[in-house]
């Protein structure tokens, strides 16, 4: 697994994506928390297997292509607690999971003639694609024209997972290549704490949501002051939930996560990011809630996987 990273100028570089991770105290704390949770999931999974007796229900086998899902990706504990067996050889698998940690797919998806495939049509999660599908489903815009927009806006890289968003004043004189420009969303309730509604999708369902609370300074980063567990019914109307699931369908997203913001001014939601190789659960989430979340996701994924096998 250490081969997944390079060390350059005091930062870890993720080879697959190019994302940069500063080496500091926060990193060591997150690695320790993630490692502890991964170990706990492995023990629970192993204990369950030891308790299985002759005649126990068959465990569907899943393989990831073209790359393996490492333990820090959400799908790994989801499979372990959802009773799905991970195998390396696609020829042994009942299900395939198209797993490529890039915002735009480079490898060819396996042909699903005989083996059902998950996320097989989720090939492009660039922010411009997300914004276009969002407008198609919701009927209003996230993006703006920075050459003509008057006021503040957010500029981000097309690349996923770099957390380089920052506020600019518009209009500007020229646009940046490989960047997207969007409206500035006031996703606070008090003007101080910013809330990112991280919304997992499993086969067209929203089993749980994470509320990521951030300071103003860290609003575009991945550093959370705290994380709380909630439900779709608590955070979204039925119409919003329907449209979120329609959005996922249009993106080809069977399993993954979305970053959704609710604007305090117009009270509408905006899907700003999609991740088809979601990591998680968030390290700042309390331990008991991590297990609760993964069990809920695991149960939902198990049902979805079995429904794919029955078709």
Query: From CA 29, how far away is CA 162, in angstroms rounded?
Result: 20
Q: What 3-state DSSP class applies to 31?
A: helix
Instruction: Using DSSP bridges, classify how beta strands 117-118 and 209-214 pair: parallel, antiparallel or unpaired.
Output: unpaired
The whole-model pTM stands at: 0.85
Count of Cβ atoms closer than 10 Å to residue 127 Cβ:
23
How many Cα atoms within 13 Å fall on the side-chain side of residue 212? Answer: 22
The pLDDT of residue 171 is: 96
DSSP string, 275-300: ESS-B-S-TTS-HHHHHHHHHHHHHH
Sign of CA dihedral 163, 164, 165, 167: positive
Query: From CA 128, how far away is CA 158, in angstroms rounded?
Result: 7
Q: Can you say how many angstroms the Cα of residue 46 is from the centroid of all Cα atoms in its chain? A: 26
The residues with which 152 forms a beta bridge, in sequence order, are 169
Whose structure tokens read 């570089």? Answer: 13
Q: Tell me which DSSP letter residue 270 carries.
A: E
Report residue 140: phi and psi, to 5°.
-140, 165
Query: From CA 128, how far away is CA 181, in angstroms rounded?
Result: 9
The pLDDT of residue 33 is: 61
Q: Computed over its alpha carbons, how large is the radius of gyration of the chain?
A: 20
Q: What 3-state DSSP class applies to 131?
A: helix
Query: From CA 77, how far away is CA 45, in angstroms rounded?
Result: 9
The pLDDT of residue 111 is: 62
List the chain residues with pLDDT less than 70: 1-35, 37, 40, 42-57, 106-113, 160-162
The pLDDT of residue 112 is: 54
- 282 touches 212 (CB < 8 A): yes
Residues 6+ apart with CB under 8 A from 60: 83, 84, 85, 94, 95, 305, 306, 309
- 159 touches 103 (CB < 8 A): yes
Whose structure tokens read 């195998």? Answer: 87
Token duo for residue 71: 């333990």
Q: Can you say how many angstroms the Cα of residue 26 is from the centroid of all Cα atoms in its chain? A: 21
Residues 6+ apart with CB under 8 A from 195: 187, 188, 189, 211, 212, 213, 214, 261, 262
Query: From CA 105, how far away is CA 90, in angstroms rounded?
Result: 19
Q: What is the largest CA-CA distance in the chain?
A: 70
The residues with which 226 forms a beta bridge, in sequence order, are 213
The pLDDT of residue 12 is: 45
The pLDDT of residue 20 is: 46
Q: What is the pLDDT of residues 86-111, one digit of tens each?
A: 999 999 999 999 999 888 776 666 66
Q: How far, CA to CA in Å, does 77 sit from each of 83, 90, 102, 281, 300?
A: 10, 19, 21, 9, 13
Query: From CA 102, how far away is CA 121, in angstroms rounded?
Result: 14
Q: What is the pLDDT of residues 4-56, one digit of tens each?
A: 544 545 544 454 544 545 555 555 555 666 667 677 676 666 666 655 555 56
């Amino acid at each position: 697994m250490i081969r997944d990273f390079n060390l350059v100028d005091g930062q870890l570089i993720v080879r697959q994506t190019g994302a940069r991770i500063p080496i500091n105290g926060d990193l060591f704390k997150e690695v320790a928390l993630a490692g502890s949770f991964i170990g706990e999931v492995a023990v629970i999974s192993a204990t369950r297997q030891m308790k299985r007796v002759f005649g126990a229900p068959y465990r569907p086998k899943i393989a990831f292509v073209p790359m393996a899902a490492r333990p820090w990706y959400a799908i790994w504990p989801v499979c372990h607690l959802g009773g799905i067996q991970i195998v390396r050889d696609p020829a042994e698998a009942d299900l395939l999971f198209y797993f490529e940690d890039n915002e735009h797919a480079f490898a060819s998806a396996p042909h699903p003639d005989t083996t059902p495939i998950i996320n097989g049509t989720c090939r492009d999660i660039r922010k411009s694609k997300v914004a276009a599908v969002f407008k198609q489903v919701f009927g209003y815009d996230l993006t703006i024209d920075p050459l003509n927009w008057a006021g503040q806006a957010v500029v981000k890289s097309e690349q996923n997972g770099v957390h380089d968003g920052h506020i600019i004043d518009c209009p500007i004189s020229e646009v940046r290549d490989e960047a997207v420009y969007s409206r500035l969303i006031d996703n606070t309730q008090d003007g101080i704490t910013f809330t990112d509604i991280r919304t997992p999708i499993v086969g067209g369902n929203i089993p749980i949501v994470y509320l990521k609370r951030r300071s103003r300074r860290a609003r575009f980063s991945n550093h959370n002051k705290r994380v709380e567990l909630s439900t779709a019914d608590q955070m979204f109307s039925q119409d919003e939930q329907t449209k979120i699931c329609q959005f996922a369908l249009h993106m080809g997203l069977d399993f993954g996560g979305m970053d959704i913001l609710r604007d305090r001014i117009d009270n509408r939601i905006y899907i700003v990011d999609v991740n088809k190789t979601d990591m998680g659960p968030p390290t700042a989430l309390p331990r008991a809630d991590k297990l609760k979340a993964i069990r809920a996701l695991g149960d939902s994924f198990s049902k979805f996987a079995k429904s794919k096998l029955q078709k």
